[in-house]
Amino acid sequence: MGDEVSLTGVVEMTVRAEPLVQLIRNYTNALRFVVHEVLRKPSEYGRWRYIKRSKRIKWEHDLRRIHHGFYEVLKCRFNLTPKFAIGCEREASMIAKSVINNENNGENRCVIKSYRARCDYQSYSVKFEGDKCYLRLQGLGEFEVNGFNKKWLDKYKDWRFGDLIMKLRGTVVKLYVTLKKVVGIANPSEKAVAVDLNFEEVVIGNHEFEARFRTPLRKIIHLKKNHIEKTQKKYNRKWGYVKGIRNAISRWWKRINGITNDFVKQVSRRIVLFAKERGYDTIVLEDLNGLKDEQAKLKKTWRERFAFFAYRKLQNWIEWQAKKEGLAVVYVNPANTSKTCPKCKSLNTEFRERILICKNCGFTMNRDSVAVINLVNRWLSILRCAV
Ligand SMILES: [Zn+2]
């Protein structure tokens, strides 16, 4: 076994309880109030400090002064319990800090749009009794959870509870329970498989085997063409200004996002289990960091940008699932991995349809199979150099 890493998972649940709705409203209003006040008089609630490295003056919050200034107000005027009042002070100072120091992309104003509240692991608990599930909040009592997926009981059996985030969706409260676990992961080894994504399929494999999973990208293109683009064309330039049309379009985008998310979650799980069952402990992925700038510079079509974005998502999920199963994930430079002949390493190749033909040694192979083999080869050569 190699490293130990901390894994985070999030579980979504639903509660209908007036006291929680009230709490979230109060908390958010309190948060807005504190942030506003701190932004109005930053010197009163923190200090300015010159940072040599960045040659900039930065504001640092002083939690004691913020506590002194707001604790009673949060309790009396906003009806927060001591735990929530302290949590609110903390969150507000972090928000104020990032606004004052201009850490949020030059956005100098601060608008807390959605109603939500945060609560640390010591202030809440979730417990199960038979078929029912209850959320207990310190100082507020117990609430029955209406919507929760029983599957995660098994999935997160031996995990620790982390922060709880509550969000208001109409009259319903959505709970986002964070769960944490420290896991051991394998030392990356030569028992490796690589993953390659093309438009139609996700390919996993190496010299010995290969498996393919169909992607929903074609379906997504169809949705975009037949629903979003048609609507936009029909209403021409007006569509951006009419609320109903804008909402319809954003509903389609949500659906597209939902399809992508379901796909990456499912396929990442299958990929990781597939590798594990066959005795592999290392998954090789393309390192896309170098590509980012090039991607930005080139005028890519929507389709290509979307595929890139989906691949990023897929990678994050594979990494998460791999950690959960104790597998290692490594990233290698993907340059030319689909053009190099895996047999003689020559770059003197050409494609006919999706078949790579090596002009040097005559070797032919499907393009995606070439990519996974080359990715694994690249990893093996890094491994050999390191020894
Ligand atoms: Zn060759």
For the cut 80, the answer to whether the pLDDT of residue 263 exceeds it is yes
361 CA → ligand 1 middle, Å: 4
324 CA → ligand 1 middle, Å: 38
For the cut 70, the answer to whether the pLDDT of residue 231 exceeds it is yes
356 CA → ligand 1 middle, Å: 10
**Ordered domains of the chain (ranges, CATH):** 4-16+119-184 (no CATH), 21-114 (no CATH), 192-386 (3.30.420)
What is the sign of the dihedral through the CA atoms of 334, 336, 342 and 344?
negative
CA separation for the pair 205, 32 (Å, rounded): 51
366 CA → ligand 1 middle, Å: 13
Could you tell me the pLDDT band of residue 248, with boundaries at 50, 70 and 90? Answer: confident
308 CA → ligand 1 middle, Å: 29
- Give the model's pLDDT for residue 28: 96
Averaged pLDDT score across all residues of the chain: 87
209 CA → ligand 1 middle, Å: 20
Query: Given the structure tokens 């707001």, which residue do they identify?
Result: 70
Q: Across the strands, what pairs with 351?
A: 356
| pLDDT average, residue stretch 90-112 | 78
DSSP state of 159: P
Burial 232-265 (b: 16+ CB within 10 A, else e): eeebeeebeeeeebeeebeebeeebeeebeebbe
Predicted model pTM: 0.74
3-class DSSP assignment, residue 63: helix
Tokens representing 289?
A: 């960091």
Of 35-44, 214-223, 279-288, 310-319, the one with minimum mean pLDDT is: 214-223
Q: Across the strands, what pairs with 13?
A: 175
348 CA → ligand 1 middle, Å: 8
Q: Which residues contact 113 (CB under 8 A, 6 or more apart)?
A: none
- Give the model's pLDDT for residue 298: 59
116-119/124-129 β-pairing: unpaired
Tokens representing 278?
A: 């066959």
For 342-382, what is each residue's pLDDT tens digit? 999 899 889 888 899 999 999 999 988 999 999 999 999 99
364 CA → ligand 1 middle, Å: 8
312 CA → ligand 1 middle, Å: 31
| Cα–Cα distance list, 257 to 131, 264, 298, 313 (Å) | 32, 11, 24, 11
State the alpha helices, DSSP H only, in 105-180: 151-155
Q: Which residues contact 59 (CB under 8 A, 6 or more apart)?
A: 42, 46, 47, 48, 49, 96, 97, 100, 101
| pLDDT average, residue stretch 169-196 | 91
338 CA → ligand 1 middle, Å: 13
Q: Across the strands, what pairs with 184?
A: 4
